[in-house]
Amino acid sequence: MSDEQTTTETKRDRVRRLLIEPLQAHGMRFPKAMPEAEKRRALDSIADQVAYMSDRGLTVLAECLRTKGEGSAKDFWPSLASITTYAHSFEPRPLNERPELLRWFASRAGPDALQAGRHVAEYLWWQKKGHPPLTDRDKALVREKSREMADKALRVQERIDRSLPPLHDDGAWLDWYRALDQRVRGYIAAGEKAA
């Protein structure tokens, strides 16, 4: 076996192979005045932001970005914000891989949400909106949703405890709710261990 065959490809290497190198071969570049170190950092940032994507997703993103260059010749790399927006439109980043979500639940906000019983509702808010509940209205909606889910979980469990069959999909819903509860508790516990 050669060294090349035994070397594993890093996430950045995979993004370079499937996205960056094809676009550079197409003519995508940075302005000449940009220092080389800054160019490398910019390409590393791109690679880090889209490394979650599948090979197919990266190939599709490369095809898309071929026509999205900036500057008068349309051959400068698009902004990182533009690239991540296109990436997300093709293949949304899994919520549990979003560093800002993990930081949120690892911060004081996670244990506070857990203590108030709204950790699952906050996670679902993140899933839908892509950010934590920020306004008073957002927080009120999360509190209401958490009360609704807790009430439903209690009702379904009471039916099961009385040997009555769950209504409709309630049994599956309760399994989903408990699994999500455990996942979010895991994010919070990981943050507490790191602190």
From first to last of the 195 residues of the chain, give the pLDDT tens digit.
Answer: 445 555 789 999 999 999 999 999 999 999 999 999 999 999 999 999 999 999 999 999 999 999 999 999 999 999 999 999 999 888 888 766 777 888 889 899 999 999 999 999 999 999 888 889 999 999 999 999 999 999 999 999 999 899 888 788 888 999 999 999 999 999 899 877 766
Please answer whether residues 69 and 28 qualify as being in contact, where contact means their C-beta atoms are separated by less than 8 angstroms: yes
How much is the pTM? 0.59
Domain residue extents for the chain: 11-93, 96-194
